[in-house]
C-alpha cells in the first residue's frame, strides 16, 4: 500500500505570505495513503532536506511530494535528497506552489484551496510512479567551437590545453573576428593586432585544434556528449596543401574592384584574396561571385601565374560529418550600418562613417596607413563629431538596449584622433557615459581632461551636408537644453551592436533559444550565463550581447571550463523520462500496428523499427522502438499514436489521468 | 470612383488654392468626391491638448458620418486633420471599451471601417497609375519637398514612409519630371499653429526652411499641408522682414504641380491665389 510523504515549504515568505501552509499540510495529512505531512520554512536548506530523509526512513515512505517552487529550480535537489534517504529518486514529485499559486494570487482562502488542489494532484500522481534507473550515455570528447573571433579563439585554446580535441568552424576565410579590424584597444591603447595575432597562430598550430575556415554548420543532431554535426566547407577553389601563400595570384588578379569587407568597404580587393596580411590561415580563396572566370568563363590568370599549380576551379563544396561532444557558440556580433540612419545622412554622405570604419582609418595597416583622412577627398578633418548611442537605447529604432562597448570606443576614437591631429577639434555627443569596468572611467576622464575632447550631453537630431561641410544639429542638455550646431568635416556614428547575420538560423539549427534581438539566450541571466537551455551547448563572447574583449575572453574561458568538466566524465547519466512502445507476448509482440506515424513526428529522430521473426527467419511483425539515448521525452509520439501503444515514463497516461481525476473529485 | 472628402476648416478658407487643385486633378482623372455631410471640426491642436475624450470624439463623429453615408474611402487633404482622424481610428481600434464610450458621447455607431487617405496616399493609389499618359508638360524644375511634421507621423501608426527622412513626396514629384534636391529641412518645424499667435517664431523657423531650399537651388518648395503652406507663403513678408532677406521661392502644393504637368491652367489649380508669386509653370 502506498505511503506518501508531503513536505510543504514556505519558501521564506514567498509561499507563506499568500498560502496558509499549515492548513495545506494538515488537510493533505488527512488524505488516504498520506502517511506523513509537514511544513517547513526552507525545504531546500540542509535541515529541510534532512527532514525529508529522516521521514522516509521513519515512516517507511513509498513516495514523496515536495510542495514548493518550480521543479526547474529544485527538482534535482529533492530527488537527490530522496535517493540519500533510500528512496528511488523518481518516486519524488514536486507540487509547484510558488510560481503556479502564491506568486500569482492574493492572500485568501481560495489561494490556499488552490494550493491544496495542486498538492493533491501530485499525491495521486506519485502513487503511480515507478522506480526508474538513470540512462547512461557515452561522451565524445571532441568539442566544436563555432566562430573564430577572440572569444572562439580563447575557448578553443583553453579546451585544447586541457588535452581535448577541438574543431573550430569559421565562416570567413580567416579567424580573428572584429578584433582583427581594431586599431588600438581601450583602456590601454595597445595595438589590437599585436595581442591577437599570436593567439591566431597558436590556434592554427595547436596539435589538438583542427581549423576549418570558409566553413559553416549545416545541421546538428543528437544531444549532449553525442552531437552529430554536418559542416559545409565552402570551396576555396584552391588546393590548400599545394598553395604556399606566395600571394602572386592576388597581385595578378585583374578583377580588383571588389569592396574590401575587412576595410569596411573603404578599400578594394581582388577576386582571389587573403582578407588581411596577418590572416590565419594565410591562404587565398576565390570569391566566386566576383571572379571573372566564374562569371564569364574566361580569365584563369591566377591559375597561370601560380607557381605550384594550386588553383582548383572545379573544386566542389565538401560536407564533413563530425561526432562532437560539446559545442561552444562564439559567432560574435555585427554593427548597424548605413540605411539605419537616414536622419544622420549615413550612407548618403561619404564623410559620415561608423565606428569600425574609423578603426580602419586609425589602423596602421588600414587604407590610409593610420592617417585620419576623410573618405570623400582624403583631407584631414579639422573638426570631427562622434555620436554615441546611434541606434542604441532608442525604442523608436527598435533597439532599447545599451550596446555597452560604444561609450568606451568613442572615447578611444576621440583620443586617437587627438593624438594624430593635434590642432583638430573632437566633439562627442552622448546620452550618458557608461564606463563601468576596470580603469574605464579613468580612460574617459583622460579623453576629456588631457586630450580636451569636447563632451556634449545631448542627442543629435540630424546631420546634413551644406557647401561641403557636415552640419550636426543637436542639443546640450547640460546648458538648459540649448540647441547646438557644429560644422564638421567628418562624423563618426557609434552605431548599435546587433546580432551577427545568420544568428537566428544557426540558433534554430542548434535548437537553442535566442532573444527578440536574435542574440543567443543564456540558460539563466545570473547563474548560468555561459550555458544555453540545450545541454552541452555553451556561449562565448558577443553572440550573447555586445561586449568588450575582456568580457568576451572571460566568458570564453568560462565556457571552456564547462566543456572540460563535461569531458572529465567517461559517461553521462540522463533522466530516464523517455517514451517506450509497449511489448506484449507473441504473436502480438506489441499493440503497435507499425504505421510509423510516430517516426515522422519525432523531432529527435529517436524512433527506430524493430522486426520480430518467426523460427524460419520470416519477419512476422515490424513495430516501433524508441532509442532511449536519443529520446528527449517530449511526448509528441505519445499524443500521436493512434493505437495508444506509446507511453512516457514518469508521465504515463494513467498518471496524468490520475491528476485530472484528482481535480475533478471532492476530497 | 467616388470618395468621401473631409475638407476641414482650411480647405474652404485659407487653403482654397489647395482645394481647387485637388478637385481639378480629380476631375481630370475621372475621380469624384462627396463631402462628408454635416462634418465637424477635427479638434485640431486645441482638443488633444485639453481633453482626450473630446479629441477622439470629434474625429470619431466625422468617421461615423462617413460610414453612415457609405463612404468607404475618404481623402483628407489637410495633414493636420488627417493626423487627427488616423490617430483616432488607431486609438479606438486598440481599445474597444474606449470605442464604446466614444460611441455614447457622439450618440452614433462607429465601426472604424473607413480607409483614410492623405493626399500622397491618394495620389499614389489613384493618380500615379494613370499619370504618365496624361503628362503634357513635365514639371522640369528643381524642387525642395517639404513634408512638415504631420504628413508621415506618427510613424508607428502610419508606417508608410520614414518619419525622419521621408521619400514619398520626392518620388511623386520625380514622376512628373521634377528633380528633388537633397533637402535636410524636410521635416523641420515651420512654426505650425503659432502662425497666428507668435509670427516671430514662425518667421524664424520657416525662414530657415526657405533659406536652405533657395540655397540648394530649388525653384519651388513643394508641400501637402495647408498649415505649412500658409506659414511659408502667407507669412513670407514677416519672414523676409525678420531675416532681412528677399526670399522669392514659391510654395506649391503637390496637387498644383501635378495639375500644371497634366496641362491644367494656373487659375484652375489655384496658383493665382498665392501670396508669393508663382512664376514657374
Ligand atoms: C568600433 C569598435 C571598436 C571596438 N574597440 C574595442 C576596444 O578598444 N577594446 C575592447 O575591449 N573591445 C572593443 N570592441 C569590442 C570587440 O570588437 C568585441 O568585444 C570582440 O570582437 C568580441 O569578440 P567575439 O569573438 O565575441 O565576436 P567577433 O569578433 O564578432 O567574432 C565572431 C566570429 O565568428 C564568425 N562567425 C559569425 N557567424 C558565424 C557562423 N554562423 N559560423 C561560423 N563562424 C561565424 C565571424 O566571422 C567572426 O570571425 C570594439 C568594437 C567595435 C565595433
Ligand atoms: S580567374 Fe578569377 S580569381 Fe583568378 S585571376 Fe581571374 S578574376 Fe582573379
Ligand atoms: S599563386 Fe598559388 S601558391 Fe601563390 S598564393 Fe596564389 S594559389 Fe597560393
Ligand atoms: S555604451 Fe554608451 S554609447 Fe553605447 S549604447 Fe550604451 S550608453 Fe550609448
Ligand atoms: S517522446 Fe517520442 S517524439 Fe518525443 S523525442 Fe521521444 S520518441 Fe521522439
Blockwise average pLDDT, block size 10, chain B, 281 residues:
88 93 96 94 89 94 95 94 95 95 95 94 94 95 95 83 90 96 94 90 96 97 95 96 97 97 96 94 76
Taking any CB pair shorter than 8 Å as contact, residues of chain A touching chain B are 342-343, 345, 348, 462, 464-466, 471
Band the pLDDT of A574: cuts 50, 70, 90: confident
User: Are the CB atoms for A493 and A509 separated by under 8 Å?
Assistant: no
What does the pLDDT look like over A213-260, one tens digit per residue? 999 999 998 889 999 999 999 999 999 999 999 999 999 999 999 999
| pLDDT confidence tier of residue A1, bands split at 50, 70 and 90 | confident
CB distance A332 to ligand 1 below 6 Å: yes
Return d(Cα B121, Cα A260) in angstroms, integer.
41
Is pLDDT above 70 for A531?
yes
* A contacts of B212 (beta carbons < 8 Å): 466
Residue A41 · residue A12 · CB < 8 Å:
yes
Tell me the average pLDDT across A528-532: 95
What is the C-alpha end-to-end distance of chain A, expressed in Å?
A: 19
- Give the least confident one: A469-473, A544-548, B196-200: B196-200
**Interchain contact B215–A (C-beta under 8 A):** yes
What whole-number distance in Å separates Cα of residue B140 and Cα of residue B219?
10
List the single residue in B162, B184, B215 with the smallest CB-CB distance to A462: B184
User: Residue A408: which pLDDT band, with cuts at 50, 70 and 90?
Assistant: very high
More confident residue, A262 or A605: A262
Chain B: give the shortest CA distance to residue A395, in Å: 11
Q: What is the pLDDT of residue A647?
A: 95
Contact A432, A458 (CB under 8 A): no
Q: Is B200 on the interface with A (CB under 8 A)?
A: no
Closest CA to A628 of A582, A591, A583, A575: A575
The whole-chain average pLDDT of chain A stands at: 95
Could you tell me if the CB of A335 is within 6 A of ligand 1? yes
Looking from the CA of residue A640, the nearest atom of ligand 5 is: 3
**Residues near A660 by beta carbon (within 8 Å), at least 6 away in sequence:** A121
- Calculate how far, in angstroms, residue A367's C-alpha sits from the geometric centre of ligand 3: 24
Q: At what angle do helices B16-28 and B254-261 cross, to 10 degrees?
A: 40
Q: Which of B164, B212, B215 sits opposite A342 (nearest CB)?
A: B164
How far is it, in rounded angstroms, from Cα A566 to Cα A162?
A: 12
Q: What average pLDDT score do residues A633-637 get?
A: 93
Do B184 and A342 make contact, defined as CB atoms within 8 angstroms? no
Q: What is the pLDDT at residue B1? A: 61
Contact A497, A404 (CB under 8 A): yes
* Predicted pLDDT of residue B280: 85
Residue A342: which of B165, B212, B215 has the nearest Cβ?
Answer: B165
Is B184's CB within 8 Å of A345's CB? yes
In this predicted structure, the answer to whether residue A346 has a pLDDT above a threshold of 80 is: no
Instruction: Report the residue among A354, A404, A493, A498 best suited for mutation to probe ligand 4: largest number of ligand atoms under 8 A from its CB.
Output: A404
Ligand 4 atom at shortest distance from the alpha carbon of A406: 4
Count Cα neighbours of A271 within 13 Å in the Cβ-side half-sphere.
23
pLDDT at A342 over 90: no
Residues comprising chain A, all counted: 667
A625: three-class secondary structure by DSSP: strand
Residues 6+ apart with CB under 8 A from A490: A351, A352, A353, A374, A381, A383, A384, A385, A470
The three three-digit cell numbers of residue A349, written as one number: 554622405
Are A343 and B165 an interchain contact pair (Cβ–Cβ within 8 Å)?
Answer: yes
Enter the DSSP assignment of A101: I
pLDDT above 90: residue A604: no
pLDDT of B245 reads 96
Quick check: B184 and A348 CB within 8 A?
no
Kindly provide the residue ranges of all beta strands, DSSP E only, lying in A15-141, ordered along the sequence.
34-40, 63-68, 92-96, 135-138
Q: Which residues of A touch B182 (CB under 8 A)?
A: 348, 464-465
pLDDT at A178 over 90: yes
Provide the pLDDT for residue B236.
Answer: 97
For the cut 70, the answer to whether the pLDDT of residue A517 exceeds it is yes
Q: Before A187, cis peptide (omega within 30)?
A: yes
Which one, of A489, A487, A492, A464, lies nearest residue A349 by Cα? A464
Q: What is the pLDDT of residues A83-113, one digit of tens each?
A: 999 999 999 999 999 999 999 999 999 999 9
Q: How is B185-203 classified by DSSP, letter by letter? A: TTTS---TTHHHH-HHHHH
How far does the centroid of ligand 1 lie from the alpha carbon of residue A220, in Å?
Answer: 24
Q: Residue A157 corresponds to which cell in the numbers above?
A: 585554446
Average pLDDT over residues A630-636: 89
How many other C-beta atoms are found inside a 10 Å radius of the C-beta of residue A3? 15
Q: Count Cβ–Cβ pairs < 8 Å, chain A vs chain B.
A: 17
| pLDDT of B154 | 85
Per-residue pLDDT averaged across A517-546, rounded?
95
Helix axes A440-449, A406-420, angle to 10 degrees: 40
* pLDDT for res B266: 95
Q: Report helix, strand and coil shares of chain A as percent, to nearest 5.
A: 30, 25, 45
Distance CA A505, CA B121 (A): 37
Region A349-362: mean pLDDT is 96
User: What ipTM describes this predicted complex?
Assistant: 0.83
Nearest ligand to the CA of A253 is 2
pTM: 0.83
Q: What sign for the dihedral angle of Cα A38, A40, A43, A46?
A: negative
Q: Whose CA is nearest to atom 4 of ligand 2?
A: A302
Print the SS3 string covering B240-262: HHHCCCCCCCCEEEHHHHHHHHC
Q: Do the Cβ atoms of B222 and B145 come closer than 8 Å?
A: yes
Distance A602 CA to ligand 5 centre (A): 5
pLDDT tens digits, residue range B263-281?
999 999 999 999 999 998 7
Q: Which three cell numbers stand for residue A662?
A: 484528482
How far apart are alpha carbons B145 and A257 in whole angstroms? 36
CA A364–ligand 2 middle distance (angstroms): 28
Q: Whose CA is nearest to atom 6 of ligand 5?
A: A631
Q: Which of A285, A279, A229 is nearest to A253 (CA)?
A: A285
What element of type H or E holds A647? strand A646-648
Q: Which residues pair with A137 in a beta bridge?
A: A572
B155: distance to nearest CA of chain A, Å? 9
Q: Of all atoms in ligand 5, which is nearest to the CA of residue A601?
A: 3
Q: Do A348 and B182 touch (CB under 8 A)?
A: yes
A189, three cell numbers: 591603447
Give the pLDDT of residue A319: 98
Closest CA to B205 of B215, B219, B195: B195
Helix (H, G, I), strand (E, B) or coil at A472: strand
Atom of ligand 1 nearest to the CA of A502: 41
Of the listed ligands, the closest to the CA of A360 is 1
Pick the closest to residue A327 from A632, A571, A535, A629 (CA basis): A535
Under 8 Å between Cβ of B176 and B135 = yes
CB atoms within 10 A of CB A216: 18
To the nearest 10°, the Cα dihedral for A276, A237, A175, A140? Answer: -170
**What are the helix (H) ranges across B38-167?**
44-50, 52-68, 79-94, 96-106, 119-122, 128-134, 155-158
Enumerate the residues of chain B whose CB falls inside 8 A of the CB of residue A462: 164, 184
The pLDDT, as a whole number, for residue B3 is 86
Cβ of residue A258 lying under 6 Å from some atom of ligand 4: no
Would you call B132 an interface residue with chain A, using a CB distance cutoff of 8 Å?
no
pLDDT band at residue A667 using 50, 70 and 90 as cut-offs: confident
Q: How far apart are CA A311 and CA B241, in angstroms?
A: 74
Q: What is the pLDDT of residue A122?
A: 97
Nearest CA to CA, how far is A396 from chain B (Å)? 9
pLDDT reported for residue B196? 87
Is the predicted pLDDT of residue A583 greater than 90, yes or no? yes
Residue A626, all three cell numbers: 524508441
**Mean pLDDT, residues A194-205 taken together:** 97
Amino acid at each position: 500500500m502506498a505511503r506518501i510523504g508531503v513536505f510543504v515549504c514556505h519558501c521564506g515568505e514567498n509561499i507563506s505570505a499568500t498560502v496558509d501552509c499549515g492548513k495545506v499540510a494538515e488537510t493533505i495529512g488527512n488524505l488516504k495513503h498520506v502517511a506523513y505531512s509537514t511544513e517547513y520554512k526552507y525545504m531546500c536548506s540542509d535541515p529541510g532536506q534532512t527532514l525529508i530523509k529522516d521521514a522516509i526512513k521513519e515512516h517507511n515512505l513509498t513516495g514523496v511530494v515536495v510542495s514548493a517552487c518550480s521543479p526547474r529550480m529544485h527538482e534535482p535537489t529533492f530527488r537527490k535528497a530522496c535517493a540519500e534517504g533510500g528512496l528511488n529518486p523518481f518516486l519524488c514529485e514536486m507540487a509547484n506552489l510558488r510560481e503556479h499559486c502564491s506568486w500569482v494570487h492574493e492572500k485568501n482562502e481560495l489561494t490556499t484551496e488552490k494550493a491544496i488542489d495542486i498538492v493533491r494532484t501530485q499525491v495521486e500522481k506519485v502513487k503511480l510512479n515507478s522506480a526508474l534507473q538513470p540512462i547512461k550515455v557515452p561522451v565524445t570528447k571532441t568539442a566544436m567551437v563555432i566562430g573564430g573571433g577572440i572569444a572562439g579563439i580563447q575557448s578553443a585554446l583553453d579546451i585544447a590545453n586541457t588535452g581535448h580535441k577541438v574543431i573550430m568552424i569559421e565562416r570567413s576565410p580567416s579567424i580573428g573576428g572584429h578584433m582583427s579590424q581594431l586599431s588600438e584597444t581601450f583602456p590601454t591603447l595597445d595595438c589590437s593586432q599585436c595581442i591577437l595575432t599570436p593567439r591566431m597562430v597558436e590556434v592554427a598550430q595547436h596539435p589538438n585544434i583542427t581549423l576549418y575556415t570558409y566553413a559553416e554548420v549545416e545541421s546538428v543532431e543528437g544531444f549532449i556528449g553525442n552531437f552529430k554535426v554536418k559542416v559545409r566547407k565552402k570551396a576555396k577553389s584552391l588546393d590548400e596543401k599545394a598553395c604556399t601563400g606566395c600571394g602572386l595570384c592576388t597581385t595578378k588578379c585583374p578583377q580588383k574592384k571588389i569592396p574590401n569587407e575587412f576595410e569596411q568597404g573603404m578599400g578594394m580587393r581582388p577576386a582571389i584574396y587573403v582578407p588581411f596580411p596577418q590572416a590565419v590561415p594565410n591562404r587565398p580563396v576565390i570569391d566566386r561571385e566576383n571572379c571573372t572566370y566564374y562569371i564569364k568563363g574566361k580569365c584563369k590568370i591566377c591559375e597561370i601565374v601560380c607557381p605550384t599549380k594550386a588553383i582548383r576551379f572545379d573544386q566542389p563544396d565538401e560536407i564533413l560529418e563530425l561526432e562532437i561532444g560539446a559545442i561552444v557558440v562564439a559567432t560574435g556580433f555585427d554593427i548597424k550600418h548605413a540605411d539605419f540612419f537616414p536622419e544622420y545622412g549615413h550612407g548618403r554622405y561619404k564623410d559620415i562613417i561608423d565606428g569600425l570604419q574609423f578603426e580602419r582609418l586609425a589602423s596602421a595597416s588600414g587604407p590610409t596607413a593610420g592617417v585620419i583622412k576623410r573618405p570623400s577627398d582624403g583631407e584631414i578633418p579639422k573638426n570631427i563629431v562622434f555620436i554615441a548611442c546611434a541606434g542604441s537605447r532608442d525604442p523608436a529604432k527598435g533597439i532599447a538596449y545599451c550596446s555597452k562597448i560604444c561609450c568606451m570606443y568613442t572615447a578611444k576614437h576621440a583620443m586617437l584622433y587627438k593624438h594624430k591631429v593635434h590642432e583638430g577639434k573632437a566633439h562627442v555627443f552622448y546620452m550618458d557615459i557608461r564606463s563601468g569596468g576596470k580603469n574605464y572611467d579613468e580612460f574617459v576622464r583622460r579623453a576629456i581632461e588631457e586630450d580636451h575632447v569636447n563632451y556634449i550631453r545631448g542627442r543629435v537630431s540630424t546631420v546634413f551636408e551644406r557647401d561641403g561641410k557636415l552640419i550636426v544639429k543637436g542639443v546640450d542638455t547640460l546648458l538648459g537644453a540649448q540647441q547646438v550646431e557644429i560644422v564638421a568635416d567628418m562624423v563618426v556614428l557609434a552605431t548599435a551592436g546587433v546580432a551577427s547575420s545568420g544568428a537566428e538560423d544557426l540558433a534554430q539549427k542548434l535548437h537553442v533559444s535566442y532573444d527578440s534581438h536574435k542574440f543567443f539566450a543564456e540558460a539563466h541571466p545570473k547563474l548560468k550565463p555561459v550555458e544555453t537551455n540545450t545541454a552541452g551547448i555553451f556561449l562565448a563572447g558577443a553572440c550573447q550581447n555586445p561586449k568588450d574583449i575582456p568580457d568576451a575572453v572571460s566568458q570564453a574561458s568560462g565556457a571552456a571550463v564547462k566543456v572540460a568538466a563535461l569531458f572529465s566524465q567517461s559517461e553521462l547519466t540522463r533522466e530516464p523520462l523517455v517514451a517506450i512502445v509497449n511489448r506484449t507476448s507473441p504473436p502480438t509482440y506489441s499493440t503497435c500496428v507499425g504505421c510509423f506515424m510516430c517516426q515522422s513526428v519525432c523531432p529527435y529522430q529517436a524512433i527506430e523499427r524493430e522486426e520480430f521473426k518467426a523460427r524460419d527467419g520470416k519477419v512476422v511483425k515490424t513495430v516501433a522502438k524508441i532509442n532511449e539515448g536519443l529520446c528527449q521525452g517530449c511526448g509528441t509520439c505519445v499524443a500521436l499514436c493512434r493505437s495508444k501503444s506509446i507511453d512516457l515514463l514518469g508521465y504515463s497516461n494513467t498518471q496524468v489521468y490520475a491528476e485530472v481525476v484528482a481535480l475533478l473529485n471532492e476530497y | 470612383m467616388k470618395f468621401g472628402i473631409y475638407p476641414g476648416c482650411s480647405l474652404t478658407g485659407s487653403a482654397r488654392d489647395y482645394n481647387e487643385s485637388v478637385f481639378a486633378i480629380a476631375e481630370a482623372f475621372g475621380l469624384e468626391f462627396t463631402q462628408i455631410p454635416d462634418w465637424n471640426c477635427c479638434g485640431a491642436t486645441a482638443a488633444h491638448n485639453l481633453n482626450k475624450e473630446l479629441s477622439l470624439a470629434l474625429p470619431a463623429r466625422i468617421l461615423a458620418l462617413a460610414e453612415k453615408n457609405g463612404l468607404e474611402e475618404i481623402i483628407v487633404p489637410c495633414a493636420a486633420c488627417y493626423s487627427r482622424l488616423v490617430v483616432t481610428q488607431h486609438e479606438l481600434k486598440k481599445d474597444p471599451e474606449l470605442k464604446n464610450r466614444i460611441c455614447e458621447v457622439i450618440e452614433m455607431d462607429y465601426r472604424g471601417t473607413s480607409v483614410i487617405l492623405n493626399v500622397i496616399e491618394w495620389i499614389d493609389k489613384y493618380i500615379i497609375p494613370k499619370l504618365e499618359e496624361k503628362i503634357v508638360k513635365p514639371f522640369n524644375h528643381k524642387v525642395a519637398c517639404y513634408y512638415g511634421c504631420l504628413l508621415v507621423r506618427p510613424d508607428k501608426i502610419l508606417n508608410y514612409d520614414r518619419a525622419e527622412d521621408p521619400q514619398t513626396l520626392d518620388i511623386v514629384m520625380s514622376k512628373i519630371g521634377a528633380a528633388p534636391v537633397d533637402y535636410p529641412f524636410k521635416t523641420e518645424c515651420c512654426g505650425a499653429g503659432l502662425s497666428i499667435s507668435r509670427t516671430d517664431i514662425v518667421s524664424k523657423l520657416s525662414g530657415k526652411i526657405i533659406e536652405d531650399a533657395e540655397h540648394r537651388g530649388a525653384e519651388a518648395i513643394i508641400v501637402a499641408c495647408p498649415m505649412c503652406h500658409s506659414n511659408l507663403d502667407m507669412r513670407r513678408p514677416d519672414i523676409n522682414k525678420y531675416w532681412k532677406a528677399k526670399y522669392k521661392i514659391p510654395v506649391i502644393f503637390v496637387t498644383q504641380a501635378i495639375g500644371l504637368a497634366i496641362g491644367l491652367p494656373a487659375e484652375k489649380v489655384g496658383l493665382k491665389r498665392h501670396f508669393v508669386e508663382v512664376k514657374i509653370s
